Structure 1
Amino acid sequence: MAEPKFTPAHGVASHDEATLASDGTHNYGPNGVAPNGGAGGYQGGGGPMARFITPGGHPMDTSQPAFPVFHRKFANPAPLGLISFAATTFLLSLFNVSARGITTPNVIMGMALGYGGLVQLIAGIEEWACGNTFGATAFSSYGGFWISFATFYIPQFGVTTAYEDPEMLENALGLYLVTWAIVTFIFFLACLRSSIALVALFFFLDVTFWLLAAGALAPSTNAHKAGGAFGILTAAIAAYTSLAGMLTKDTSHFLIPVGNLSRAK
């Protein structure tokens, strides 16, 4: 494969534009201007000041070889949205199965607002800019879900305190979860031609919502814990899919499959 050709930036002299004086120094024209009209080095024979440009039209930067310079308008926001969803779902699901005897999940509020909510919403906005309608709709929706979920634990919003009857509160939360189960099923239908990993993610997420809804409406502690268990599985799939998006031939020694279902060849 031929090496990419880097050219000096406009108005900056290269080695070819300067001539060598008898003492071995670069000889620029009057006032330090290169013979071909480019802006030369220092007046009096200083070294050339070449700034190399990549084929993408950006300044070449090799100061951080571990972070290659990619010449595109936007990076892929999907791994960010997936990993933020995975981490927040994993933490809440641990609380739902009463891990370590924890039955009060208020710690999830910060995670839901910051990582699962704000960061995932940003990923959704970036997907809009990249032209990915499905990713934009999904990430923005679940970013909104986590923000709305966090409000249940913020006293100033008065969501839970508005219900004097605990049974009515459980029914309201159950219907809230049913709504998100329906939304998730719509996303499940929309991603059937994407990848096995993404289809599995939305399938198990939908099962999670239905089980949590049943746990609130029945009410049933077993259904609630089962929803937490499926939530942990869902988080693992989301983390796997996120990792698959971050591993590329340019930055990794290996790739992991996601099971492409797209019709595109």
Structure 2
Amino acid sequence: MTKPSSHSSDPEVGHHEALHAIRSAASISMSPELFEKLYLAPPNAVKGDLRKTFGNPTPLALAGFLLALMPLSCDLMGWRGASHFGAASIPVYFFEGGVLMVISGIMEWILGNSFPSCVFTSFGFFYLSFGGILHPSFAAYSSYAPADAKSPAEGMTTKGFNASLGFFLLAMTLLSIIYLICALRTSVVFVVIFATLVPALLCLLGAFWAWADDYTGNTLLAQRLCVGAGALLFVTSFAGWYILLAILLAIVDFPIQIPVGDLSSVIKGKSEREMRLGK
């Protein structure tokens, strides 16, 4: 008869042994659903064991994205008198939204997670660019101010400034549409993020081009479009908070896990389809 272990009656030791077993198993294999939840991308084969060496940068990027986006959505809706596209949050756009997301995107690239790396890095630089547009030292709007302007901020009311900024938002919209299509292989929540982000960017695009056509006459229309964009971005933020919570709960092996709606098993990849067909 096997002699029972002296540690079997110690609940503390048993807890640590169980936790070690879970972590050891997780380091050996990971289900496609869990991988997609943790990294926001379908599993991909990469050389080396960097994912076992370094931590997961995905929640860090989401935190930066949300800490900049949620205040912006409230600013656009004008809650509690907020205005001017969150100019008070320029440092937040630079450091939380910009630096944090770019660093996280580079870390994703090191781990071989190309899709989240592309998403996080591009949106990180979008935040840096947006903060730079609002910051006076970049002269983004003061360059358009008339020679007799009493304030550099008068450049924001010009046709040239609003039309040019609209084209930047148009490019971001096209990029987000591409991300939306690719996200169909990840999760429902990630799809919701881009599905609300795209119309939000279109609303902002419409607002700036409305101001470009007639700043005074189209002010009411542009303000309504900004409020609509803010409402959509608020939904984007809510979806982002949800997926951030889901990832962190999975990372700490919390007893309660929340679903994100895995789509990698619903929309099969091209390589998986070819493998099933024997190609």
User: What does residue 73 of structure 1 align with?
Assistant: 53
Cα distance, 1:173–1:254 mapped onto 2, change above 3 Å: same
The residue aligned with 2:34 is none
Partner of 1:119: 100
Q: Kindly indicate which of the two structures has a greater share of residues assigned to helix.
A: 2
Match of 2:38 in 1: none
Structure-1 separation of matches of 2:230 and 2:251: 35
Native 8 Å contact 1:197 1:258 kept in 2: yes
Q: Find the counterpart in structure 2 of residue 99 from structure 1.
A: 79
Gapped runs of 5+ residues in structure 1? 4-53, 57-70
Higher relative contact order (CA 8 A, sep 6+): 2
After TM superposition, the score normalised by the length of structure 2 is 0.67
Aligned structure 1 segments of 4 or more residues deviating by more than 6 angstroms: none
| CA distance 1:250–1:85, shift in 2 (3 Å) | closer
Does the 8 A contact of 1:249 with 1:255 survive in 2? no
Tell me what 2:29 maps to. none
Distance 2:234 2:242 in 1: 12
In the alignment, is residue 89 of structure 1 matched against residue 69 of structure 2? yes
1:128-207 map, 5 Å = 128-164=109-145, 166-207=158-199
The alignment partner of 2:189 has SS state of helix
- Report % sequence identity: 28
1:129-153, CA deviations, whole angstroms, 9 ceiling, x for partnerless residues? 1110001000000000000111012
CA RMSD across the alignment: 2.3
| CA deviation after TM superposition for structure 1 residue 249, in Å | 7.0
Task: Determine helix, strand or coil for the equivalent of 1:72.
Answer: helix
Structure with the greater alpha carbon radius of gyration: 1
TM-score by length of 1: 0.71
> What is the match of residue 240 of structure 1?
242
Post-superposition offset of 1:84: 1.3
1: CA distance, partners of 2:173 / 2:89: 20
**Residue in structure 1 matching 2:201, options 200, 209, 226:** 209
In structure 2, the residue corresponding to 1:209 is in which secondary structure? helix
